[in-house]
Homo-oligomer: A and B are copies of this chain.
Amino acid sequence: MAPSSKKVNKSDKTDLSDATSRHGAPASLATLSAHLGLSVAAISRVLNGVPAAKSIPKTTQDRIFAAAKEFNYRPNALARSLRHGRSMMVGVLVPEVSEGYATLVLAGIEQGLLQSGYIYFLISHHHRSELIERAQSLLMERSVDGIIAIDTIMPLHSRLPTITVSCPDEQEGVTNIMLNQRRAVELALDHLVGLGHREIAIIKGQSFSSDTEPRWQAIRHAASRAQIKLNPKLVAQLEGDAPSHEPGYFAAQRLLASDTPFTALFTFNDVSAIGAIRALREAGLRVPQDVSVVGFDDVQSAAFQNPSLTTVRQPLRTMGMLAAEALVRQITAHPDHPPSKQLVVDPELVVRESTCPPPAKKRAKS
């Protein structure tokens, strides 16, 4: 088609369609069988290199490999899965696909899964339990070998190998990847207290988020340990399932409306911290001079905020990788072998610009 004089630098893409058999359909073992005059069984054995193929002479094997290459033979994973009872597919459940938290975990999961030869379906459910249930059914029908659920409370209890990330909901045979919340909260509060803060406001997570309760327990524990008492008027909760900065913005506005002074704010996550900072600034408060803010997660943009965000880092990517590895282990393990219930990872405090000692007048007042 193209004039042969022209150098073919533009369209040097491999054309898969030519490499397959001429009638469009991809080559199957039967195609090769017809071409080689061998049975599909022999071809399958050779291509898979099973021990039984040892009795087949080298020359025949070479012919088979050559034909496979010529016809661009790709084993049909559907058929293979059906026969083999293992699909090498897993399902990943996330609340939202567009949120900072889940996507970082996802990156780790992907890395861990792909290197073990697995491929994954992604489904988001917006924390709606009927969608979670539908997703679980969908995945089971698709014969996935396992499920990883991030920040998801699962209504169905399937016997599929399952790993959860940040879901302290104890379930039979489910391994949960968790952050050490106690330690995480201590890092944040000790930092603020060490700077001299006493009037600390808290923004709790949404009720549907599985980290919310344990985090809150940890906060109460750490506060009493540090001899800080939490003023109920200085505790707000994120509301609404929008995966955006708005819930934090509105929560901070509610805190301000309570007319109770505070010099520091500890938020449920970085995204809400960013929203909260905007609300503070709109109220004429400077961060950190008037109010210090500590976030949670250390999402990518945290370091690039203005001011950059002091935050408790979760090793999200690592957690994803751990989840993937644990799942693969659970899939390939003996069914009776009991999986570990928890894998706990440690947080890290990242001090940036959004925290400093409280203003002098406030401290004098208290």
Interface residues of A (CB under 8 A from B): 13-17, 24, 26, 74-79, 81-82, 87, 89, 96-100, 103-104, 106-107, 110, 114, 119-124, 133, 137-138, 140-143, 154-159, 243-245, 249, 271, 274-275, 277-278, 281, 300-301, 303-308
Q: Are B77 and A141 in contact (CB under 8 A)?
A: yes
Q: Are B123 and A119 in contact (CB under 8 A)?
A: yes
Q: Are A157 and B97 in contact (CB under 8 A)?
A: no
Other CB < 8 Å A-B pairs besides A76-B141, A249-B304, 15 of them?
A: A14-B156, A15-B156, A76-B82, A76-B143, A77-B141, A78-B81, A78-B87, A78-B142, A98-B104, A98-B107, A114-B123, A120-B122, A121-B121, A245-B304, A277-B306
Q: Are A107 and B124 in contact (CB under 8 A)?
A: yes
Given A78-B142, A142-B77, answer yes or no on A17-B157 (Cβ-Cβ < 8 Å).
Answer: yes
Cα-based distance from A323 to B158 in the complex (angstroms): 33
Cα-based distance from A16 to B281 in the complex (angstroms): 51
Q: Are A75 and B124 in contact (CB under 8 A)?
A: no
Q: Which residues of B contact A76 (CB under 8 A)?
A: 82, 141, 143
Indicate how many identical chains form the complex. 2
Q: Which residues of B contact A89 (CB under 8 A)?
A: 121, 142
13 example contacts (A-B, Cβ-Cβ < 8 A) are as follows: A13-B155, A13-B156, A15-B156, A17-B158, A24-B159, A76-B143, A77-B143, A89-B121, A99-B103, A119-B138, A119-B142, A249-B304, A275-B304
Q: Are B301 and A274 in contact (CB under 8 A)?
A: yes
Cα-based distance from A24 to B158 in the complex (angstroms): 11
Cα-based distance from A307 to B278 in the complex (angstroms): 9
Cα-based distance from A215 to B303 in the complex (angstroms): 28
Q: Which residues of B contact A275 (CB under 8 A)?
A: 304
Cα-based distance from A76 to B154 in the complex (angstroms): 22
Q: Which residues of B contact A13 (CB under 8 A)?
A: 154-157
Q: Which residues of B contact A157 (CB under 8 A)?
A: 13-17
Q: Which residues of B contact A141 (CB under 8 A)?
A: 74-77
Question: Which 5 residue pairs across A and B have the least CB separation, nearest first?
Answer: A245-B304, A306-B306, A17-B159, A98-B103, A122-B122
Q: Which residues of B contact A104 (CB under 8 A)?
A: 98
Q: Are A245 and B96 in contact (CB under 8 A)?
A: no
Q: Considering only CB atoms, which chain B residue lies closest to A245 in the complex?
A: B304
Q: Are B303 and A245 in contact (CB under 8 A)?
A: yes
Q: Are B97 and A300 in contact (CB under 8 A)?
A: no
Cα-based distance from A338 to B271 in the complex (angstroms): 44
Cα-based distance from A33 to B175 in the complex (angstroms): 37
Cα-based distance from A75 to B138 in the complex (angstroms): 10
Cα-based distance from A187 to B107 in the complex (angstroms): 35
Cα-based distance from A77 to B121 in the complex (angstroms): 14
Q: Which residues of B contact A74 (CB under 8 A)?
A: 137, 140-141
Q: Which residues of B contact A138 (CB under 8 A)?
A: 119
Q: How far is the CB of A88 from chain B (nearest CB, A)?
A: 9
Cα-based distance from A29 to B8 in the complex (angstroms): 54
Q: Which residues of B contact A96 (CB under 8 A)?
A: 107
Q: Which residues of B contact A124 (CB under 8 A)?
A: 107, 110
Given A98-B107, A107-B124, A275-B304, answer yes or no on A143-B78 (Cβ-Cβ < 8 Å).
Answer: yes
Q: Which residues of B contact A301 (CB under 8 A)?
A: 245, 271, 274, 301
Q: Considering only CB atoms, which chain B residue lies closest to A287 in the complex?
A: B306
Q: Considering only CB atoms, which chain B residue lies closest to A159 in the complex?
A: B17
